């Protein structure tokens, strides 16, 4: 059996807040968008700039599911729905160059660090819709630094 990861789909209640979080906060880039008038939904595919570059870019006119670029698919249903929880499917995981700088940048944008990177390696945050996001340090763990080393957990992750 052969299997290849394509994307993770998450439903979002506010497309603008979600794009701000994923693009401005985490640094993902929008690679494709599709509005379905008949279905009353919008699909937005996001990827890291590094993955898009590594895979040779996003070809024009090609469906995101036909590329080798790993993506997050944001599904925005135009009719209001309540997406309680968000953790029921697990989490999305992203590798970052500097866990402390990333968490500090996110905090400056008002994002709560639910599980701070006390170990210099791993942190958890949540999207505006409560989706659990794991952040992992690229390479070796960083030396423990304050305020991270003694920062308590906040909420659930």
* Catalytic option among 30, 134, 140, 145: 134
Catalytic site includes residue 53:
no
CA distances from 34 to 28, 48, 109, 145, 146 (A): 17, 19, 28, 43, 44
Report residue 108 as tokens.
């400056």
Adjacent-strand bridge partners of 75: 11, 43
Sheet with 71-77: list strands edge to edge. Answer: 7-12, 71-77, 41-47, 29-36
Q: Give catalytic residue positions.
A: 134
């Amino acid at each position: 059996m052969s299997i290849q990861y394509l994307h993770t789909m998450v439903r979002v209640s506010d497309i603008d807040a979600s794009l701000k979080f994923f693009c401005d906060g985490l640094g993902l880039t929008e690679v494709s968008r599709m509005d379905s008038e008949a279905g009353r939904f919008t699909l937005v595919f996001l990827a890291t700039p590094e993955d898009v570059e590594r895979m040779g870019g996003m070809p024009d006119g090609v469906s995101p599911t036909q590329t080798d670029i790993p993506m997050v698919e944001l599904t925005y249903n135009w009719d209001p729905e309540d997406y309680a929880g968000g953790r029921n499917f697990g989490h999305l995981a992203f590798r970052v160059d500097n866990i402390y700088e990333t968490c500090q940048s996110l905090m400056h944008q008002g994002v709560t660090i639910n599980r701070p990177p006390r170990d210099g390696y791993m942190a958890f945050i949540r999207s505006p819709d409560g989706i659990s996001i794991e952040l992992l340090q690229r390479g070796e763990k960083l030396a423990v630094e304050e305020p991270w080393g003694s920062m308590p957990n906040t909420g659930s992750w």
